[in-house]
Amino acid sequence: MAFLYTKPPVKRTRTAIAATFLIASLASLQAQAQSTPPVQNPVQAVVPAPSTAQSPQVPPSALKTITVSERSTSPGADITGFGDTPLARTPISASVIGSQQIEATGARRLADLLQQDASVSDAYNAVGYIDYVTMRGFVLDNNYNYRREGMPINANTAIALDNKESVELLKGTSGIQAGTSAPGGLVNYTVKRPTNTELRSARLETHSNGGLLLATDLGGHFGTEQQVGWRFNAASESLRTATPDTAGSRRLLALAMDLRISKDALLQAELEYSSRSQPSVPGLSLLGNTLPAPNPQLNLASNQAWAQPVVLQGLTGSLRFEQALSGGWRWSAQAATQRLKSDDRSAFPFGCSSDPSGNYVGDRYCANGDFDLYQFKSDGERRNTNALQLQLKGSAEALGVKHDLSLGLLSSLHAERFGLQAYNYVGTSNVNNLQSFAPDPTGADLSTNRTERSTELSATDSIRWTPRLSTWLGLRSTRLQRDSAKTDGSAPTSYSATLTTPWLAASYQLDPARMVYASYGQGVESQVVPNRPDLYSNAGVPLPALKSTQWELGIKSSSIASEGRLQWSAAYFHTVRPMSNLNACSSLCTGAYDGQALHQGLETSAQWAQGAWTLGSGLTLLHAVREGSLLEPQNNGLRPVNVPNWIARLQAGYRVSALPGLQLTGSLSHEGNRAVLPDQFIMLPAWTRLDAGLHYPSTLAGYKANWTLGIDNLLDARYFRESPSSYGHVYLFPAAPRTFRLGIQVNL
């Protein structure tokens, strides 16, 4: 059954709800703020963890201690560029999702973690496919907005979480952290490192759809002085979902090793192989001007005998050497490589050519449910990334002022190589009467091979003028060289540029617990007009560098007192991103910039623990609009598609005193409405989801065992979680139904 949604009138009730949520959170938490370190993430605080410990201690004058256990105080985040400084003391918005939280939520991919932070949401997350994420309303670029151990990677693959110690989220423009990137923020994956004590852990998990996971986590040290550390992770899982014909599998093997050469020298190496094979599920779409029912059991490609799974394989590794120098200085050299191979295949619904009007409908299905079905196939895609980074960090005093300095050099090479792509029309089907077709073996299109080289010089300086006042300066200069050509060598293009992005901030410590800050930064992107003379009069021509600007005002507080532990923050951001018409031309036009996107809003987060309770909350109020477009003036002043106007997250944990060890957890997520079409005529309704969990430690055959029972989407809510648009076509992805998870982790 379908329902028609038109643009609703503006309602004050939602604004009131959001304001009440914000005021209640901050008012109740501020009343308890006193001083010193903050609380860890609430889910991390209440979920039992494997037996991990700190790495071997070294003298204070040597390298910093490497910690692999969950942090009880505010962690730093390498992705900020000020990795040694706790997040509670940096003028940057960032969060860290730790391994305990990843395991407690049953997360297998980045898309499963989006409900842990109110600044992120889905961008195009289909079952069996790669992840796409929005942050502060901007879609992150899978080629440029992702890091692993602080080094650039390509995220057009399946990134396993079993061997990840944390996922770091940096919010806002990232000009000092990345040479080129979209302005929403960055994602950094850190891997699990060797533990000080012996670690022998096995995990078994199943869920109501029939999937089964077996994973191991092993580690320890050896050598005459225990100077060699190791950590081994392995996982094997049969993938099952509530959507039919989506059975698949994934594998992971990962090894990390440390060699303590001396008290001042450390060598770290890690290598990871992962693979995933699973059919992807195409999204639904509008039926004319009507939203269909959000049916997670509907798979429009399941009846095609020729449909094949998407296969994603990756081999990634890094080598890092760090040397402590005199005077508290240290330098490091890090090399990383990534080798990706993909077979991208899909039975692909797109538009409708059987509309009674006789016109082709490209952005949706026909009102009667008809849609055109295509076969897409691109085997043997290869994406390789190599990077080398040198860094020097330390402190110095000049005229009585302390400077924390960092200098860096990053050289990277990205190469994408493709074969022929098949994108063949096979017939017209209907959502209520799926038809089977034979594949079309004739079509094969050229793709585009790309090579990019970049050299980035960066410098940061944190200046402490007084015990309370600090300024933060950053500058990154990037030299780019990009080359592309069709897979047969034709239509070559070449582009080079030098791009410089500054960042500056000032922070003031109001008291030992609270800090206020203001920051300004730039991010940069570069675009080349698509090499299509049929659409662009200047096909293949590079556009001038596209610079985004952002300023941010924030306050952070972290405290611990007899009443409990508390951490909270609030930030107001204002981001302007120039826009181009490169995705808007449907007939011959000249590729150029066309207006700008303005995203501004308020982000808050809070975590509190006292007695048996832990609570966490996050709220993002976002005002995002398009401005100054000449090609699409009708969209000026309107919100972009698939961007919710507000997001709220709430987590809670409770330790049951009547049964020692038993812990109950709950998670509530709410996302506001989204535009399905640029003209806002059809809106995707807001949705709310409730998850619950139970965690209990016990013994099994004499070994410590931690049991987890999770219920995702407890109330079995039916809704579309997102409405992305790709190549001019609207997609609607329904939420998964209620799912039960049962897992046991045994520490041997």
Distances (CA, A) of 715 to 636, 648, 689: 38, 18, 8
Are 147 and 189 within 8 A, CB to CB? yes
Going along 75-163, which residue ranges are E strands?
94-98, 120-122, 133-135, 138-139, 146-148, 151-152
**Nearest Cα to Cα of residue 331 among 229, 259, 409:** 409
Are 189 and 171 within 8 A, CB to CB? no
pLDDT of 620-643, one tens digit each?
A: 999 999 999 988 899 999 999 999
Q: What pLDDT was estimated at residue 584?
A: 67
Paired tokens of 168: 């770091």
H or E stretch including 20? helix 12-30
| Beta pairing partners, 524 | 547
In this model, does residue 4 exceed pLDDT 90? no
Domain edges within the chain:
12-64+74-298+320-374+384-747
Paired tokens of 56: 């071997």
In this model, does residue 697 exceed pLDDT 80? yes
Q: What pLDDT was estimated at residue 55?
A: 37
Report, as an integer, the average pLDDT of 318-337: 96
SS3 for 690? strand
The CATH number of 12-64+74-298+320-374+384-747, from 2.40.170.20, 3.40.50.150, 3.40.190.290, 3.40.605.10, is 2.40.170.20
Indicate the range of 30-34, 304-308, 676-680, 744-748 predicted with least confidence. 30-34
SS3 for 621? strand
**Mean pLDDT, the chain, integer:** 87
Q: What pLDDT was estimated at residue 80?
A: 76
pLDDT of 363-412, one tens digit each?
A: 999 999 999 999 999 999 999 999 999 999 999 998 889 999 999 999 99
- Cβ neighbourhood burial of 471 (10 Å; 0-12, 13-18, 19+): middle
Q: What pLDDT was estimated at residue 29?
A: 35
Q: What pLDDT was estimated at residue 63?
A: 58
Indicate the range of 175-184, 447-456, 654-663 predicted with least confidence. 175-184
Q: What pLDDT was estimated at residue 53?
A: 35
Number of C-beta neighbours around residue 37 at 10 A: 17
- Tell me the percentage of the chain whose pLDDT exceeds 90: 72
Q: What pLDDT was estimated at residue 643?
A: 97
In this model, does residue 557 exceed pLDDT 90? yes
Distances (CA, A) of 609 to 39, 43, 564: 7, 11, 5
The Cα–Cα gap between 395 and 122 comes to: 41
pLDDT of 218-271, one tens digit each?
A: 999 998 888 999 999 999 999 999 999 999 999 999 999 999 999 999 999 999
| Beta pairing partners, 386 | 337, 413
3-state secondary structure 696-721: EEEEECCEEEEEEEEEECCCCCCCEE
The Cα–Cα gap between 654 and 656 comes to: 6
Single-letter residue type at 280 = S
pLDDT of 502-517, one tens digit each?
A: 999 999 999 999 999 9
pLDDT of 46-87, one tens digit each?
A: 333 333 333 333 333 445 444 333 333 345 566 777 767 888
**Nearest Cα to Cα of residue 571 among 531, 608, 527, 601:** 601
Report, as an integer, the average pLDDT of 341-362: 92
The Cα–Cα gap between 149 and 152 comes to: 9
Task: Using the CB atoms, write b or e for 61-90: b if 16+ within 10 Å.
Answer: ebbeebebbbbeebbbbbbbbbbebbbbbb
Q: What pLDDT was estimated at residue 67?
A: 39
**Nearest Cα to Cα of residue 52 among 290, 256, 224:** 256
Structure confidence at residue 564 as a pLDDT band (50, 70, 90)? confident
pLDDT of 712-727, one tens digit each?
A: 999 999 999 999 998 8
**Nearest Cα to Cα of residue 383 among 341, 336, 413:** 341
In this model, does residue 487 exceed pLDDT 70? yes
pLDDT of 120-163, one tens digit each?
A: 999 999 999 999 999 999 999 999 999 999 999 999 999 999 99
Paired tokens of 200: 């022998």
SS3 for 30? helix
The Cα–Cα gap between 223 and 476 comes to: 42
Q: What pLDDT was estimated at residue 77?
A: 63
Number of C-beta neighbours around residue 356 at 10 A: 9
Number of C-beta neighbours around residue 565 at 10 A: 23
Structure confidence at residue 31 as a pLDDT band (50, 70, 90)? very low
Are 544 and 18 within 8 A, CB to CB? no
Number of C-beta neighbours around residue 563 at 10 A: 13
The pTM score is 0.89
In this model, does residue 301 exceed pLDDT 50? yes
Q: What pLDDT was estimated at residue 562?
A: 63
Paired tokens of 685: 């309704």
The Cα–Cα gap between 619 and 601 comes to: 10
Structure confidence at residue 686 as a pLDDT band (50, 70, 90)? very high
Q: Which 8-state DSSP code applies to residue 300?
A: T
